Every structure is written in structure tokens, then in C-alpha cells.
Amino acid sequence: MASVDSSEVERNFSYQDNERVLCFHGPLIYEAKVLEKNWMDEPEASGPHYYVHYKGWKKSWDEWVPESRVLRWSEENLQMQQRLKTFYRTNQSGRSAKESDGEGINLGKRRRDAKLEKEEDYLNRPEIKLDIPDTLKGQLVDDWENVTKNQQLVTLPRTVNVNEVLSRYKRFKKEKKGSRELNEDLLDEVLDGLRIYFNKALGSMLLYRFERHQYADMRRQYGETDLVEIYGAEHLLRLFVQMPSLIAHTNMDPDAVSVLSDYLTDILRFMQKNQKQLFQAEYENAAPGYVALSATT
């Protein structure tokens, strides 16, 4: 991999050589050690990268990863690691008959049941790449700071919830392309699949620790109401960050991955274009009692 001379760009590395870290590999998180760091300057690999060794794995699995896949070794990130493990263990052992019959993003008959695979098989899976617009990256940063640093919460239930965001996107596509050009059945499959992914992933993968009590309150108040009717664009955007890793562990063929990637990218553009209408401008300050309760768990 190519590197850039330090005189050309200011290098800001968040992690150092020999640092103990956590690192995404597929949808799961593993303990790793930073062996080297370098600033890459290639079309598909730019910015800070780290050469990591996964603890307990053979050296042949050592690899260069972008900074976005590396996490600080912290209690909160270790908890997220455990939540992901639990989520996938539960998802594989407790699938309902309805799910096994193909509920989700199947894109015709090309999608098979999602399953965890051996790492060798994973590396041969087609990769889905999502370019998140810069303004939405900023949205993610603000979202993280509001919740984890400022102890603020998204007001729930959201008026413009996930279901409404996706419904607006569908109306937008129909108006733009017209009924003759739009494959409405395929569009519905993609949107329904996103709703299913969101409902399954929200409680296990998409929440910060400070939001856990709010989530429990929502479940008590609204019972079995789908989470896409309660949460909004803020948490949907978090799902999009996870989608490449989630899709990498399904048996989707390259054509299906390409179609899905195009749709997800287009939805992100729609969210960017309508950012002010879809995202909450000001998060609410958590009550003192809520802050105290969150600090004890």
C-alpha cells in the first residue's frame, strides 16, 4: 500500500504501535494488537490504516484495516463486542419458521438464509461498499457526542420514524422514475428487509449504553410495537454503518450485493438531501434521575 509523505498531509493517528485494541472483522469484534500504522493514499484506501494481529489467530490473518474498523479498548466497547456475539448467537439458534422461509432482503430467490461462515469463506464473499456522505458522517459524530458526552437523548417516539423515512423514500422514487421505470417489487423487498434488519439489530447493536434505559422504557410503554415505528433517522443511519459487515456474512451473490449496494447508497443520498426534515436538530437533556440511573448500570 502506498503512503503519503508527512509534508503533504498532517498525519493524525488515533492508535499507536503495540496498542491493545478491538477490531471489526465482518460483523463481529475481536481483540487485536496494532503492529504498524501507515497513512494510505489510494483511491479505495486513504487516511490512517493499521496493520493488526487478531489475538489467537494465525499470522496469516494479520491485515491492514482502516481506522473506522478499530475501536478503543474500553468497557463500553467490550460490552458492544459481547452484545454482537449474543446477537449473532441468538439470531442463528432462535430463527422462527417464518424467517427461515425467506423473510428479509432476498432480492428474488438469490438470497439464502444468513449464516455465520468460516473466516476463509467470509473473505471470498462479495464486499458491499457504502460511501456515507460527509454531512451524514458529521451527523454520526454529532449523534455520538450528544449521547455519550453530553448525556442527551433522541426524543422518542420520533414523529418521522424509520418507517416514515423509508415510505418517503419510496414516494420519492415513484415520483422521480414513474411506475413504468421503477421495479416496485424489488424496491419493496429492499425496504422491507431494512425494516426487518432494524427491528432485529436495534436493541443489540445500535444503542449506546446511555440509551439502554430509554430503550427499556419504550419497550414497556409500547409493548410489541415495531421499533421502526418508534426510532428515527438517527438510529437508521447507525444501521447503515453496520450494513456492509452484516451483508458480508450472508450468502448473497455478487449481483444481489450490487443491487442492494445501489439502493442503500441512494437511500443515503435521499437522507442527506432531506437531512433537516429527517433528523432531530436538538437532542433532549436527560433528566437527573435518568443520568443517575444510567451511571449505576
Chain center to CA of 208: 13
Report strand pairing: 284-285 vs 152-153: antiparallel
Looking at the domain 20-73, which fold is it?
SH3 type barrels. (2.30.30)
Q: Where in the chain is the domain with CATH 1.10.274.30?
A: 77-295
Cα separation, 134 vs 132, in Å, equals 6
> Which superfamily is assigned to 77-295 in CATH?
MRG domain (1.10.274.30)
Question: For 143-200, what is each residue's pLDDT tens digit?
Answer: 988 998 899 999 999 999 999 999 999 999 999 876 567 899 999 999 999 999 999 9
Please tell me the predicted confidence (pLDDT) of residue 107.
47
Q: What's the mean pLDDT in 85-90?
A: 59
pLDDT of residue 89: 57
Q: What is the pLDDT of residues 138-153, one digit of tens each?
A: 898 899 889 988 999 9
Q: How far apart are CA 153 and CA 195, in angstroms?
A: 22
Which residues belong to CATH 2.30.30.140 in the chain?
A: 20-73
The CA distances from residue 66 to 69, 102, 166, in Å, are: 6, 34, 30
Q: Which helix (H) or strand (E) holds 91?
A: helix 75-93
Q: Write the Ramachandran bin of 54: left for phi over 0, alpha for psi from -120 to 50, otherwise beta.
A: beta
How would you classify the pairing of strands 63-66 and 70-72?
unpaired
Span 273-290, mean pLDDT?
A: 96
Which pLDDT value is given to residue 116? 43
How many other CB atoms are found less than 10 A from the CB of residue 61?
Answer: 16
**In this model, does residue 45 exceed pLDDT 90?**
no
